[in-house]
Structure 1
Amino acid sequence: MRLLKLGAIFMLIQVSLRAQDTIMPLWPQDKIPNRIESGEKEVREVNGILRISKVQQPSIEVYLPAVSNATGEAMLIFPGGGYGILAYDWEGTDIAKFLNGKGIAGIVVKYRLPSDTSQEEKHLVPLIDAQRAMRLVRSMATDFHIEPDKIGIIGFSAGGHLASTLGTHFNETVYEPMDAIDAESARPDFMALGYAVITFGETSTHKGSQYNLLGENPPADLVTYFSNEKQVTENTPPSFLFHAMDDEAVPVGNSLDFLKALKDKGVPATLHVYPKGGHGFSLARKDSHLRGWTERMFEWMEALE
């Protein structure tokens, strides 16, 4: 009888894992890197979009397709918000659910946003969480019914900056390894960047993202370090980029510069530029032309070697 009960519990865990919305912390409670004890609390506000700020406990929220529909692919999702908030459903959970419809596991990363109150070396904190998220997912590939060499990332706006930072700084030590998870590679197998912030210190820079991540008057070496078009190497993952020509918040030059850097290093890349769409269009379900970026991305993923 006891074995039957244990078996039932195990089946419930498996069903829960296959069901949507499994939330897992990135770090042990008392071992979050660069954390400073403070009175800062996470804030959630809903005004058409769920906006999360002052994240204290970074996590992943896992959405899995039915096993029979699963392609073995997964994408970690980095919502945007200028490094000030996370547009958590608009560019996070909605994206994950959409990916599930294509048999792809969607994993939303609730990463910490830079804070002078609750962090030290705040400029490294989002990258620290991004590296850990990739390693955690890769370590659980079997549990999530995904292939460890088919784990990509997608990021939007400032989340696209974080995604491109991970794609160009994945092999750098930005925190001390603490367990077996940190033995896994943090390199994404492919990445998609939507109207992404790429460069700092230029006329096309999104000033809000740069200020929130680096502060006022940052040193030149940090500006260069986080100008990701300058950090591309031959090992940067294959990339899919999409942007609107009329984006006034994050000019299309960000994607154009990154595409050129990828081409110069021989990294396979695709860029789709749409004449209209502005900034922050997410799935663009109400625009029959703009929403085509999703199908173009799926086609591109199928063509990856």
Structure 2
Amino acid sequence: MGKKIIYLLLLFVLCFGFYPQSSQAISMNINEPMPSLITEPNRDLSQLKPALMNYDINFTTINGEKLMLHVHVPTGIENSAKLPTFVWFPGGGYVGYVGMPPLTEMAVNEKMVAVSVFYYIAKPPQIKHAYPEAYISAQEAIKHLKTNAAKYHIDPDKITVAGWSAGGTIAAFLGAHNGIDFKTKKPDPMLEIDGVIAVDAPLDFSVVYQNGNQVLQQKFYDKWTSFYDAVWAFVTENPKNAYKETLEASPVYYLSKVNNKNKVKWLLIHGKLDDTVPLKQSKDFYNALKKLPNNGVKLIVQPTLGHTLANYMVALNNIIAFTKSF
């Protein structure tokens, strides 16, 4: 209980002390050195430094964009130790990075490796949309972590990917497309992960159209404007005649296309009062998973919360138990 209270207090700082509560995302020039504030805002972490080994890695470059990941490894472990690993993809509407839980505390207190990945995003007007490079970059991150598993003390058979909002889309893609290279369409064991946690995540972009045709749903746009706008930041800058593109960019699409998803365990979390991403996105994805072989699937609906990282923090005990369950 004490840890949970500390985490909730940290959440207050994260949500109200640094990140704006608007739909605007915080963008960052990832060609510049990664500032510490992007992962641990407004906090003195000096007391944690002796307890952590930290790595800042340029894991790939796509279209001239240098993409970074941070790895936090607890100290005081044996040289041969292999630890459960939690890989976090932040939200941000596919145009920025917003929503970072206290990963350093998780690494120290829970004795696991905690990673944050800054995947490929849109940067209008130069980069008009993030798909498919966002998915490709996420797979490159997993491949880097597994290739360097011994260096980072990662147990390659105990990797959980997680994300909030747009980051949840990326995490869900990695689970739905588990172990299959997105570019070559061929199996690659270096891309296999074990668990997925998706919080308030867009999982089916094709719902902006009516019944599988090319007609955009005006009523959907009127009610879910932020979701609707995020679709075009992710998939295409031209919403006309793009049903096929929105479908193929959706994690739910791959559930029926990839054969080894039964190896993945799923935890879906969603705020019932979410006015940015419909709760139906998680419910429909959950129902689709239940019809397929899997290692377990659970949906947690937070009855009093909206589109907020608080959904992650309130379910923190479930998340830690899930990550250590492999």
TM range (shorter): 0.7 to 0.9
Deviation at 1:194, TM superposition (A): 1.0
* Partner Cα separation in structure 2 for residue 17 and residue 257 of structure 1: 45
Deviation at 1:66, TM superposition (A): 2.5
* Partner Cα separation in structure 1 for residue 130 and residue 272 of structure 2: 32
Kindly provide the amino acid, as one letter, of the partner of residue 63 in structure 1. Answer: H
Q: Which has the higher contact order (CA 8 A, sep 6+)?
A: 2
Q: Residue in 1 aligned with 2:94?
A: 83
- SS of structure 1 residue aligned to 2:197: strand
* Partner Cα separation in structure 1 for residue 248 and residue 104 of structure 2: 30
CA shift digits 1:52-78 (9 cap, x unpaired)? xxxx31011011122439771112110
Indicate whether 1:220 and 2:213 are aligned: no
Structure 1 runs not aligned, ≥5 long: 1-15, 37-55, 177-181, 285-290
Q: Residue in 1 aligned with 2:227?
A: 206
* Partner Cα separation in structure 2 for residue 120 and residue 274 of structure 1: 34
Deviation at 1:302, TM superposition (A): 4.0
Q: 1:101 to 1:261 in 2, by over 3 A?
A: same
Indicate whether 1:251 and 2:258 are aligned: no
* Partner Cα separation in structure 1 for residue 75 and residue 255 of structure 2: 36
Between 107-116 and 144-153, the greater mean CA deviation after superposition: 107-116
| Residue among 181, 186, 190 paired with 2:195 | 190
TM-score of the two chains, using structure 2 as the length reference? 0.69
Q: Residue in 1 aligned with 2:24?
A: none
Indicate whether 1:22 and 2:22 are aligned: no
CA contact (8 A) 1:153 1:190 kept: yes
* Partner Cα separation in structure 2 for residue 100 and residue 191 of structure 1: 22
CA contact (8 A) 1:77 1:153 kept: yes
Matches within 5 A, 1:74-113: 74-87=85-98, 90-91=99-100, 94-113=102-121
Matches within 5 A, 1:93-242: 94-115=102-123, 122-175=130-183, 185-202=190-207, 203=220, 206-214=227-235, 215-217=237-239, 219-233=242-256, 235-236=260-261, 237-242=264-269
Q: Residue in 2 aligned with 1:300?
A: 322
| Residue among 61, 65, 69 paired with 2:70 | 61
CA shift digits 1:188-222 (9 cap, x unpaired)? 21111111111113247921321101123162221
* Partner Cα separation in structure 2 for residue 81 and residue 279 of structure 1: 12
Q: 1:111 to 1:301 in 2, by over 3 A?
A: closer
Kindly provide the amino acid, as one letter, of the partner of residue 212 in structure 1. Answer: A
Q: Residue in 2 aligned with 1:7?
A: none
- SS of structure 1 residue aligned to 2:134: helix
Q: 1:175 to 1:120 in 2, by over 3 A?
A: farther
* Partner Cα separation in structure 2 for residue 172 and residue 117 of structure 1: 31
* Aligned Cα root-mean-square deviation (Å): 3.0
* Partner Cα separation in structure 1 for residue 233 and residue 128 of structure 2: 14
Kindly provide the amino acid, as one letter, of the partner of residue 232 in structure 1. Answer: L
The total of aligned residue pairs comes to 252
Identity across aligned pairs (percent)?
Answer: 21
